[in-house]
Structure 1
């Protein structure tokens, strides 16, 4: 494939290295809003930028009928509009709050546990995420996906919020520490015991590899997708 990288920071550089090792060509490395010319006619765009610029970055690519793999979090209120643009331009868009294989297995485990625990009201649920101090959004997109997985399976909850769980609001603690790639934990606590499931990333390589695999998978497809489609369909 010919790959354009939109957002060439730490993640973009690792994605580029992995893509080249898998035999792909990097035709653009951009830290500004792309244009048809600067994208340099790629087969796919992998977009890891910042929340404030993600929408415009993705919009330009889709309007030029280029499939987009997006890992930028913190802009999702505009995601329905992006999915409409992908459909109107007969191209493809795949958003992932986390591209790691392990995290996507963790998503499935989280939903299964939430379904098992939904009738045990003596257990209070709490989420916690820890990331590096450079991360600009809180909570993380991964934590939001985990919260949504619990809400879908446990009718006690209707929404999530930053802070402690109260009533129908599922709580997420967002902690920032130096150079932590990403740690996510879900706790079910009662007066007598605690159940915890946890995913710890050791580095960014798993996220980057998953993004490249998604870019390979999306070739020749049209529509809006997630990593669940890539890994489990």
Structure 2
């Protein structure tokens, strides 16, 4: 495949390595200062850019009939617009807060546990996420996805950064060193604690999942998720 990278930071460079190892070609590296973009050269685009650039990148690709996946977080106020545009133009689009295959299994585990815990009101839910100091948004998109998974299946209604009130899931965000990403979901009661945890050892898992999603998306029409890619 001929892949365009929108955003050429650490993740973009890692995706480039993984894509080339899988036999693909990088035909464009679109970053802040890029002016001329040849959409006709691309089979698919992968966006790991900045929150204020993501929606523009996604829209431009859809308008130019280029399938695009995006792992950029912090832009979701425009997510419904992206879906509407994709459907209008019969494009192809995947957004995921985290493309790691292991994290997407973790999302399913989180939802399954939440279903089991729904009627056990003696347990209070909290979450913690730890990332590197260069991560701009807090809480992470992955933590928000986990919180939504709990909210969908329990009596919780919202999530809240730091301390939560009644029916709010408190999410603690820490920025430490070069930590790729650690997410913990905790159910705590007076008598015991249940927690599930995912720890990323490096960025390669995110990049690998993103390339697999791009391979899967080519030739399709519609808005999809990693659940579709993995058949979960």
8 Å Cα contact 2:111-2:149 kept in structure 1: yes
- Structure 1 length-normalised TM: 0.96
Give the distance between the partners of 1:210 and 1:232, measured in 2 at CA: 14
Give the distance between the partners of 1:183 and 1:88, measured in 2 at CA: 37
Any residues of structure 2 matched to 1:136-147 within 5 Å, and which? 136-147=136-147
- Deviating beyond 3 angstroms after TM superposition, the runs of 4 or more aligned structure 1 residues are 33-40
Give the distance between the partners of 1:210 and 1:78, measured in 2 at CA: 24
1:98 is aligned to 2:137: no
8 Å Cα contact 1:52-1:75 kept in structure 2: yes
- Structure 2 length-normalised TM: 0.96
Give the distance between the partners of 2:63 and 2:81, measured in 1 at CA: 12
Give the distance between the partners of 2:76 and 2:33, measured in 1 at CA: 18
Aligned length: 232
8 Å Cα contact 2:159-2:171 kept in structure 1: yes
8 Å Cα contact 2:96-2:226 kept in structure 1: yes
1:179 is aligned to 2:178: yes
Any residues of structure 2 matched to 1:68-147 within 5 Å, and which? 68-147=68-147
**Which ranges of structure 2 fall in alignment gaps of 5 or more residues?**
none
RMSD between superposed Cα atoms in Å: 1.3
Structure 1 partner of 2:194: 195
**Which ranges of structure 1 fall in alignment gaps of 5 or more residues?**
none
Further displaced range: 162-171 or 33-42:
33-42
Structure 2 partner of 1:21: 21
